[in-house]
Structure 1
Amino acid sequence: MLSNGRLITFEGIDGAGKSTQLSLLRQVLQQKGYEVLVTREPGGDAVGEEVRRLLLQQCMVPRAELLLFLASRAQNTEVVIRPALASGIIVLCDRYIDSSVAYQGYGRDLHPETIEQLNNFATNSLVPDLTILLDLPPEIGLERQTQKNRMEEAGLTFLQRVREGYLLLAQKYPERIRTLDARRPPEEIHREVCTLVFELLAGRTMETRGSKV
């Protein structure tokens, strides 16, 4: 897919500050004149939001859980993300392909490699330009939560496996996934997020200019 849009995703366990950092980044980008779309997974449109309600509230077997996440992702990618990217919009997504690998692959022990292949099918191989992994020890994440959904209620051992899965993904894809220590103050993390994002956008500008020469 050829476009001037960029897909930036935020990953990490709940409590790591994804929503906070995404919101702060959106404000900065909009202040600088960029058009920004914010979405989330599961979610994105009416179909995805209904799937989200089921996933976070209803008990189900791990394979059904995975397939529902993938269904929401397929819908969100095709209906929300791709059209925005094609219009040159910067898309900020709260969770994306890496969440399924970490939570269902490593957390639920459902073969991470298979899930990566299924992600490719669900998204038609759409990979983020940049993934910001906010790394946090699960015990701190649980302490920060005032309301726990079904994933957090799975317990500390489950979340430790999820965190390990994220860190293994960061080792596997170091150019795309950038890991930040989420134990630090939000404003300090925000500065690092902005540095990474504007490095990405500067690279896009250079590529665009080069293509016109």
Structure 2
Amino acid sequence: MQKLIAIEGIDGSGKTTLANLLKEHLESKMKLNVIVTREPFSEDIIKLIEKIGWNDPILLVLLFAADREIHVNWLSKIKDADLIILDRYYFSSIAYQGALGVDEQWIKMVNSYFPKPDMVILLDLPIEVAISRIKNDKFNFEEKIKSLAKVREKYLKLAKEYNFYVVDASKDKNEVLEQAIKIIQKNLF
């Protein structure tokens, strides 16, 4: 039966990089069939969010849940994968929209019907390091630092609550990959 790994972390933590490096490593070294997907998943939902904006956190919870339903439905049709790596999952909604003041219990309830991942790897790093990695200069740095600090705090709380594996993402991408591989080999395969 296929395993499900969610990779979570604040913007700039290296989720996409790690997901792709893991796929490459696990396919070449362990001969696993690995699928990498990311959220948001549906182009239609992404366009809708971009059209209406990112300012209504309750609406975002619902739109991300709708997107997740489309995503999970698509994933359920994949039969030949040994491992599915999710670049973000419902914990992102809890962390990001929770940091904006949406009731976390409600967010959890909205997402309670989605499959639980077999493992969650949280890429944690100082906000300043994350900001230095984000290539988009269109945001207000002071505002972004404050919001990411709140999101990071939520993620660290979730890590304790759900027993995430926390990896120091401030390290070189190869060191992060090595840590993640050890965690996966020890706990999944």
Q: TM over 0.5: same fold?
A: yes
Measure, in 2, the Cα distance between the counterparts of 1:138 and 1:64: 26
Task: Give RMSD over aligned pairs.
Answer: 2.1
Check the 8 A contact 1:7/1:92 in 2, yes or no: yes
Matched, 1:93 2:63: no
Instruction: Measure how far apart 1:104 and its partner are.
Output: 0.5
Check the 8 A contact 2:23/2:34 in 1, yes or no: yes
Q: 1:37 to 1:88 in 2, by over 3 A?
A: closer
Instruction: Measure how far apart 1:187 and its partner are.
Output: 1.0
Check the 8 A contact 2:4/2:84 in 1, yes or no: yes
Percent of matched pairs sharing the same residue? 33
Residue in structure 2 matched with residue 209 of structure 1 by the alignment: none
Check the 8 A contact 2:35/2:81 in 1, yes or no: no
Instruction: Measure how far apart 1:149 and its partner are.
Output: 7.7
Q: 1:15 to 1:39 in 2, by over 3 A?
A: same
SS of 1:93's partner is: strand
Residue in structure 1 matched with residue 35 of structure 2 by the alignment: 37
**AA of the residue aligned to 1:164:** E
- Residues 152-174 of structure 1, C-alpha deviation per residue, up to 9 Å, x if partnerless? 89522111110000000011111
Instruction: Measure how far apart 1:135 and its partner are.
Output: 0.5
Instruction: Measure how far apart 1:54 and its partner are.
Output: 3.5
Counting only pairs closer than 5 Å after superposition, residues 5-44 of structure 1 correspond to structure 2 as 5-31=2-28, 32-43=30-41
Measure, in 2, the Cα distance between the counterparts of 1:97 and 1:59: 17
Measure, in 1, the Cα distance between the counterparts of 2:39 and 2:143: 19
Instruction: Measure how far apart 1:92 and its partner are.
Output: 0.6
Q: What are structure 2's unaligned runs of at least 5 residues?
A: none
TM normalised by structure 1 equals 0.81
Q: What are structure 1's unaligned runs of at least 5 residues?
A: 203-213
SS of 1:16's partner is: coil
Counting only pairs closer than 5 Å after superposition, residues 75-114 of structure 1 correspond to structure 2 as 75-79=70-74, 81-84=75-78, 86-105=79-98, 107-114=99-106
Measure, in 2, the Cα distance between the counterparts of 1:40 and 1:199: 24
SS of 1:120's partner is: coil
Q: 1:37 to 1:192 in 2, by over 3 A?
A: same
TM normalised by structure 2 equals 0.90
| Pick aligned residue for 1:179 from 166, 171, 181 | 166
| Pick aligned residue for 2:112 from 105, 120, 137 | 120
Instruction: Measure how far apart 1:66 and its partner are.
Output: 1.2
Name the count of aligned residue pairs: 187
Measure, in 1, the Cα distance between the counterparts of 2:18 and 2:96: 21
Measure, in 2, the Cα distance between the counterparts of 1:61 and 1:21: 30
